[in-house]
């Protein structure tokens, strides 16, 4: 058996991708360029390496992100820069396709950007879901992944894409759904739906440690708008744990593509060493379909036939 190589695409030596022509396909539905690399990027890279076709639908180009002028020299807009960053990241992750829905980035709750007519958070849920359902019918993934019900940290765009994806998962397989745009696509029902979530154990540890280091756990992140203390008490079940340590370098390289958003490091300061100790190259997922039960999965394609 050949040694595992993260660069050898199509090698099926790992036990869960059978040696046959069946194309395993996964669709990740997210909101902004960087959500993939700062979130479930390790799992996406892992499945791409193992021969699955990994696709990403990104609702916006992250137009509202804060960007230093030094990053914008070669770009006409923040959206254009961040699209380029995502394309860079998708190369490192080995994505088979990246699709932009062309909505506009919304700000955090209360921000004026939420009221922009193109703002994702201002769109009717049914319309966004109908478009996601069309991507599902086109790409025909067995597995769909998106944000958890609070969008990781209550970002309105993340929550919007969570809701739209849950609805789209149903619509795609519903013969009575006539589609949006290209109406010729036949119904297609993916088999599994997962929500990526953040380890609560990690959050709770951070909440305890941050005050000791002079940091406020209610004001985390680059913009100080993430309340880890509040997030830590919203617990979600973990139904699948994906160990992506073999492709950790790819995830790191993809994260570095998003230099305008701080790359891999979110203003950790003295936390850098602690963060390194606590990051375990594992992604955590809740499973929505089929309903969870029993043992914790180690593979999102488990049981896919």
Chain residues binding Zn ion by CB under 5 A are 31-32, 35
**Which residue lies nearer to Zn ion by CB, 80 or 170?**
80
Residue 161 CB, nearest approach to Zn ion (Å): 9
CB 175 to Zn ion: min, Å? 33
Please state the closest distance from residue 154 (CB atom) to Zn ion, in A.
11
CB of 35 vs Zn ion, minimal distance in Å: 4
Closer residue to Zn ion in complex, CB, 33/94: 33
- CB-closest chain residue to Zn ion: 32
**What token pair was written down for 8?**
């050898």
Q: 35 or 297: whose CB is closer to Zn ion? A: 35
Query: Which is nearer to Zn ion, 99 or 188 (by Cβ)?
Result: 99
Closer of 45 and 59 to Zn ion (Cβ)? 59
Q: Which is nearer to Zn ion, 63 or 180 (CB)?
A: 63
Q: Please state, in angstroms and rounded to a whole number, the distance separating the CA atoms of residues 80 and 302.
A: 38
Please identify, using beta-carbon distances, which residue of 107 and 141 lies nearer to Zn ion: 107
Q: In this complex, which beta carbon is closest to Zn ion, that of residue 82 or of residue 137?
A: 82
Least distance in angstroms from the C-beta of 60 to Zn ion:
8
Measured CA to CA, the distance from residue 129 to residue 116 in angstroms comes to: 19
Helix axes 125-139, 156-172, angle to 10 degrees: 60
CB of 101 to Zn ion, least distance (A): 14
In the complex, least distance from residue 32 CB atom to Zn ion, rounded to whole angstroms: 4
Query: Least distance (Å) from Zn ion to the CB of residue 262?
Result: 13
Per residue, what are the HEC states of the chain? Answer: CCCCCCCCCCCCCCCCCCCCCCCCEEEEEECCCCHHHHCCHHHHHHHHHCCCEEEEEEEECCCCCCCCHHHCCCCCCHHHHHHHHHHHHHHHHCCCEEEEEEEECCCCCCCHHHHCCCEHHHCCHHHHHHHHHHHHHHHCCCEEEEECCCHHHHCHHHHHHHHHHHHHHHHHCCCCCCCCCCCCCCCCCCCEEEEEECCHHHHHHHHHHCHHHCCCCCCECCCCCECHHHHHCCCCCCCEEEECHHHHHHHHHHHHHCHHHCCCCCCCHHHHHHHHHHCCCEEEEEEEECCCCCCCECCCCCCCC
Token pair recorded at residue 42: 């390790």
CB contact at 8 A, 167 and 126? yes
CB of 177 to Zn ion, least distance (A): 27
Q: To which residue do tokens 């069309």 refer?
A: 134
Phi–psi pair at 293, nearest 5 degrees: 165, 145
Q: Residue 35 or 85: which CB sits closer to Zn ion?
A: 35
């Amino acid at each position: 058996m050949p040694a595992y190589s993260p660069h050898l695409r199509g090698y099926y030596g790992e036990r869960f991708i059978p040696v046959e022509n069946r194309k395993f396909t996964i669709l990740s539905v997210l909101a902004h360029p960087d959500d993939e690399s700062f979130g479930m990027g390790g799992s996406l890279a892992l499945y791409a390496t193992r021969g699955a076709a990994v696709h990403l639908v990104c609702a916006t180009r992250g137009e509202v992100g804060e960007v230093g002028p030094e990053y914008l020299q070669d770009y006409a807009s923040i959206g254009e820069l961040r699209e380029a960053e995502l394309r860079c990241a998708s190369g490192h992750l080995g994505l088979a396709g990246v699709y932009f829905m062309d909505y506009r980035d919304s700000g955090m709750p209360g921000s004026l950007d939420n009221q922009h007519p193109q703002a994702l958070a201002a769109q009717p849920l049914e319309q966004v879901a109908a478009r996601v359902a069309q991507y599902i019918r086109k790409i025909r993934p067995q597995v769909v992944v998106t944000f958890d019900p609070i969008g990781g940290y209550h970002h309105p765009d993340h929550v919007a894409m969570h809701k739209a994806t849950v609805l789209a998962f149903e619509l795609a397989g519903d013969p009575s759904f006539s589609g949006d745009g290209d109406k010729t696509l036949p119904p297609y029902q993916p088999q599994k739906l997962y929500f990526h979530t953040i380890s609560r154990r990690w959050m709770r540890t951070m909440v305890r440690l941050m005050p000791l280091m002079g940091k406020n756990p209610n004001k985390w992140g680059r913009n100080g708008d993430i309340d880890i203390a509040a997030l830590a008490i919203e617990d979600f079940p973990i139904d699948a744990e994906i160990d992506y340590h073999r492709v950790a370098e790819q995830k790191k390289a993809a994260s570095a593509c998003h230099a305008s958003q701080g790359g891999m490091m979110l203003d950790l300061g003295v936390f850098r060493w602690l963060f390194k100790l606590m990051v375990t190259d594992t992604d955590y997922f809740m499973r929505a379909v089929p309903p969870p039960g029993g043992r914790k999965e180690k593979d999102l394609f488990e049981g896919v036939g």
